[in-house]
């Protein structure tokens, strides 16, 4: 066993190998604080036949025993990955993938298993570091090592791997991965911070990454294995030269077609003609012919951008495609918007509901639920394909989470706006950056609903073409530029600052200078998009959508909760049945009433306010007789609160039988004489009646006439006026 350690922010980080999972190609046990993650890397002996991509799979396995929990549900076993696990898997995959050699087609499997979880030490960076270390000491060809850290921003200063308490104070949550030389991956959510703060935190995190990489290099020196050979397929030079010469002008012509489908049809036609022609002379080289076409397409597109500043659809590097925005696109939803940018189009629908509809989280984090949810759907028709409609995959989860992260900083708090908010982005057309279009349409959709957003949010995707020392940053990239370019850098924000970042690259890192240039260009881009959005929807609607439920918030004493719920829930169910509202009661006494009909909401509010109102001595109430006994009657003066109206307090006259004066169901006016130390309420009807002239206070009668009742009523009126 070999172990390598370093101090990081007062905590020890250890990489151990040689003790666990020894049959894997490489295995490293990562420990930071009390978080422990086992990461393994395994490779197949032979390359996969008939593929032209690198077949790597990353699995990020959460185990609930890591935080001392047993899984919920009937089976009591971990099932499909949580959203956090899928996002953790994507972080590891995106950081590693650019560093494998071209033409390496052996299957590689990375498994990160979270064995123990310290909430102050998140496992996601350890997964990336452990995967890098396992690959670096194995026989798998890998141009690492790399490392990762989380960076926060507190009082304007970067904080490396913030604790849970520090995270709550931080304005930034930045996951950063890179080599010693350059940044490889960025994933961030922030509270409208400046570009300079983002760059400052990236630079601070990169310095720590260099230190972690140095420790890995020491491990590789001690226990690293020789790397396996990568058999690069040879090229038939005369074939390559002939193909390039024949199709370059045709590809250039096709790239000048603005419309995506027409351009793709033209390129497909050129490719089909090429294969048909050259298979006659080179019948065993079909894959090489197709590969040469792809390489020529890539080099031609990049050459046009670098040498002429001309993109596939004729735009300049900083130019953004035409944008249109539409709100209230659907009549019965709470809010909706369509955002179209070029040939990318996203319909977003906003739905409001009571807080009981929050999403319950069953994972390793401390957060148990969330009230702001964004879901993203990418059907095959959005790219003109016939395919299968299945559940959300890693792409849908990742893009949905990015848009959710971008919008969350402007969503009002639960106290300001006590609703569960669900956004759904339906991708209708895709030609570049549907996730950023989801941010734009989601912002418009919530404003259309009447959600009081702090500010509108827009997003843009930036690209990069780097040929030697020539660097061109592209604004608002389309699908072809994403596929054939070197970077996909998404930036979202408001007029005030940045709310989300995500960067993936296909080269071995980018410098701080390129990153700064991309951020500056992105800032101009997304603010231009904000301007277009503001022309359609300058602010949230002042009134909530007529289709959305109205939320009434009450605060009652904790000791009154049982009065509202009632025995076995009978009282609260009765209110819901009578009014048709939804009622949620929090343990701290907050009551939320959700009502589509405002009148029914007010009625439910009045019932609850009456239920929790205390009976006060000396007050007069209109009560209802609920029970009659020989010694008097029980009268409900407030819902759920009964008092005893003793027979001696029914009238000034002597009453022989309670039923002579009152019966069950009668409504009578009574006065509260007192409330004893056990909470028992004593009532009087007599105190509100005028005593007949000449009658002493202890003298009475066992019967009452109609004229007496009328006289008594008049007496009560005079008493109230006096």
pLDDT in tens, 361-382: 878 887 788 999 999 999 999 9
Q: Is residue 535 over pLDDT 90?
A: yes
Best-predicted range by mean pLDDT (145-159, 504-518, 562-576, 687-701): 145-159
Mean pLDDT, rounded, of the chain = 90
- Residue 315's H or E segment, with its range, is none
- At 28, is the pLDDT very low, low, confident or very high (cuts 50, 70, 90)? very high
Per-residue pLDDT tens over the stretch 542-566: 999 999 999 998 999 898 898 899 8
Give residue 246's pLDDT. Answer: 87
Find the mean pLDDT for residues 211-216: 97
**C-alpha 269, offset from chain centre:** 42
Q: Is residue 641 over pLDDT 60?
A: yes
Q: Is residue 268 over pLDDT 60?
A: yes
Find the mean pLDDT for residues 115-132: 96
- Phi and psi of 363, rounded to 5°? -140, -160
Rounded Cα gap, residues 477 and 321, in angstroms: 9
Give residue 697's pLDDT. Answer: 54
- At 722, is the pLDDT very low, low, confident or very high (cuts 50, 70, 90)? very low
Per-residue pLDDT tens over the stretch 388-398: 888 899 999 99
Put the strands of the sheet holding 183-193 in their side by side order: 157-160, 147-154, 172-178, 183-193, 498-505, 487-493, 458-467, 470-475
Find the mean pLDDT for residues 530-548: 95
Q: Could you say which architecture CATH assigns to the domain 237-308?
A: Orthogonal Bundle (1.10)
Share of the chain above pLDDT 90, in %: 70
Give residue 696's pLDDT. Answer: 60
Give residue 509's pLDDT. Answer: 80
Domain boundaries, the chain: 2-223, 237-308, 323-536, 550-612, 620-721
Mean pLDDT check: name the lowest of 24-33, 57-66, 198-207, 703-712: 703-712
Rounded Cα gap, residues 227 and 101, in angstroms: 12
Give residue 581's pLDDT. Answer: 92
Query: Does the fold of domain 620-721 match that of domain 323-536?
Result: no
CATH superfamily for 323-536 is: GHMP Kinase, N-terminal domain (3.30.230.70)
According to DSSP H, which parts of 309-427 are helical? 394-407
Give residue 714's pLDDT. Answer: 37
- Kindly calculate the radius of gyration of the chain based on its CA atoms and give it in whole angstroms: 36
Contacts of 99 (CB under 8 A, 6+ apart): 142, 143, 144, 146, 179, 184, 508
Please report the sign of the dihedral spanned by the C-alpha atoms of residue 69, residue 74, residue 80, residue 83.
Answer: negative
Give residue 691's pLDDT. Answer: 79
What 3-state class would DSSP assign to 530? Answer: helix
Q: Helix (H) and strand (E) counts for the chain? A: 15, 29
Rounded Cα gap, residues 110 and 388, in angstroms: 28
Find the mean pLDDT for residues 592-613: 90
Find the mean pLDDT for residues 87-97: 96
Asked whether 239 and 296 are in contact (CB, 8 A), the reply is no
Q: Is residue 717 over pLDDT 80?
A: no
Give residue 631's pLDDT. Answer: 93
Which of 58, 693, 86, 698 is CA-nearest to residue 363? 86
Q: Which tops the pLDDT comparison, 710 or 143?
A: 143
For residue 486, cis peptide bond before it (omega within 30 degrees of 0)? no
Find the mean pLDDT for residues 8-21: 93
Q: Is residue 218 over pLDDT 80?
A: yes
Topology (CATH) of 550-612: Ribosomal Protein S8; Chain: A, domain 1 (3.30.1370)
Class of domain 2-223: alpha beta
Q: For residue 116, give Cα distances in angstroms to 31, 38, 520.
A: 9, 10, 41
CATH number for 620-721 (one of 1.10.645.10, 2.40.50.140, 2.60.40.1080, 1.10.8.80): it is 2.40.50.140
Q: Is residue 700 over pLDDT 50?
A: no
Give residue 429's pLDDT. Answer: 96
């Amino acid at each position: 066993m070999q172990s390598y350690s370093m101090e990081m922010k007062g905590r020890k980080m250890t990489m151990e190998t040689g003790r666990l999972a020894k049959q894997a190609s490489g295995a490293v046990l990562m420990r930071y604080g009390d978080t422990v993650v086992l990461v393994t890397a395994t490779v197949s002996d032979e390359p996969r036949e008939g593929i032209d991509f690198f077949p790597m799979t990353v699995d990020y396995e959460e185990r609930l025993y890591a935080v001392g929990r047993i899984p919920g549900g009937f089976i009591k076993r971990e099932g499909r990955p949580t959203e956090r696990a899928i996002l953790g898997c994507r972080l590891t995959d995106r950081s590693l993938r650019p560093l494998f050699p071209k033409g390496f087609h052996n299957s590689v499997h990375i498994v990160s298993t979270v064995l123990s979880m310290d909430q102050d030490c998140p496992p996601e960076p350890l997964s990336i570091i452990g995967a890098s270390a396992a690959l670096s000491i194995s026989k798998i060809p890998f141009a690492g090592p790399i490392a990762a850290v989380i960076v926060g921003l507190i009082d304007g200063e970067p904080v490396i791997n913030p604790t849970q308490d520090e995270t709550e104070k931080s304005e930034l949550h930045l996951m950063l991965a890179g080599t010693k030389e350059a940044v490889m991956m960025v994933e961030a959510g922030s509270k409208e911070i400046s570009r300079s703060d983002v760059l400052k935190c990236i630079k601070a995190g990169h310095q720590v990454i260099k230190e972690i990489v140095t420790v890995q290099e020491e491990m590789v020196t001690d226990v690293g294995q020789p790397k396996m050979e990568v058999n690069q397929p040879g090229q038939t030079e005369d074939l390559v030269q002939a193909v390039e010469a024949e199709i370059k002008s045709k590809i250039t012509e096709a790239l000048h077609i603005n419309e995506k489908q027409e351009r793709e049809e033209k390129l497909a036609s050129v490719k089909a003609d090429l294969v048909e022609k050259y298979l006659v002379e080179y019948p065993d080289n079909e894959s090489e012919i197709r590969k040469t076409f792809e390489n020529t397409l890539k080099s031609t597109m990049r050459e046009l951008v670098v040498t002429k500043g001309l993109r596939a659809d004729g735009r300049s590097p900083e130019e953004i495609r035409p944008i249109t925005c539409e709100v209230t696109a659907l009549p019965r939803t709470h809010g909706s918007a369509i955002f179209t940018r070029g040939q990318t189009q996203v319909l977003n629908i906003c739905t409001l509901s009571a807080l009981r509809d929050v999403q319950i989280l069953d994972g390793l984090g401390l957060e148990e639920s969330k009230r702001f949810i964004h879901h993203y759907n990418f059907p095959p028709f959005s790219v003109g394909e016939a395919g299968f409609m299945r559940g959300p995959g890693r792409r849908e989860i990742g893009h949905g989470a990015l848009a959710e992260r971008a919008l969350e900083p402007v969503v009002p708090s639960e106290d300001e706006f006590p609703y569960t908010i669900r956004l759904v982005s339906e991708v209708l057309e895709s030609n570049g950056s549907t996730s950023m279009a989801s941010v734009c349409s989601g912002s418009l959709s919530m404003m259309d609903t009447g959600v009081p957003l702090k500010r509108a949010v827009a997003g843009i995707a930036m690209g990069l073409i780097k040929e030697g020392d020539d660097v061109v940053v592209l604004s608002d990239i389309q699908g072809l530029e994403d596929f054939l370019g070197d970077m996909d850098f998404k930036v979202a924000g408001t007029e005030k600052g940045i709310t989300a970042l995500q960067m993936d690259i296909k080269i071995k890192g980018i410098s701080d200078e390129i990153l700064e240039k991309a951020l500056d260009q992105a800032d101009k881009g997304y603010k231009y998009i904000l301007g277009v959005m503001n022309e359609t929807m300058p602010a949230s609607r002042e009134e909530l959508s007529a289709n959305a439920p109205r939320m009434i918030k009450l605060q009652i004493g904790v000791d009154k909760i049982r009065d509202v719920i009632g025995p076995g829930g009978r009282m609260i169910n009765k209110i819901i049945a009578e009014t048709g509202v939804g009622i949620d009661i929090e343990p701290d006494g907050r009551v939320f009433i959700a009502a589509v009909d405002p009148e029914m909401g007010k009625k439910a509010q009045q019932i609850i306010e009456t239920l929790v109102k205390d009976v006060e001595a000396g007050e007069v109430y209109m009560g209802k007789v609920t029970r009659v006994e020989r010694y008097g009657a029980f009268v409900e003066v407030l819902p759920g609160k009964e008092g005893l109206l003793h027979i001696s307090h029914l009238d000034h006259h002597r009453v022989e039988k309670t039923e002579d004066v009152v019966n069950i169901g009668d409504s009578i006016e009574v006065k509260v004489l007192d409330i004893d130390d056990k909470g028992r309420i004593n009532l009087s009807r007599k105190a509100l009646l005028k005593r007949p002239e000449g009658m002493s206070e202890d003298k009475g009668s066992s019967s009452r006439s109609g004229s007496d009742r009328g006289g008594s009523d008049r007496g009560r009126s005079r008493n109230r006026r006096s």
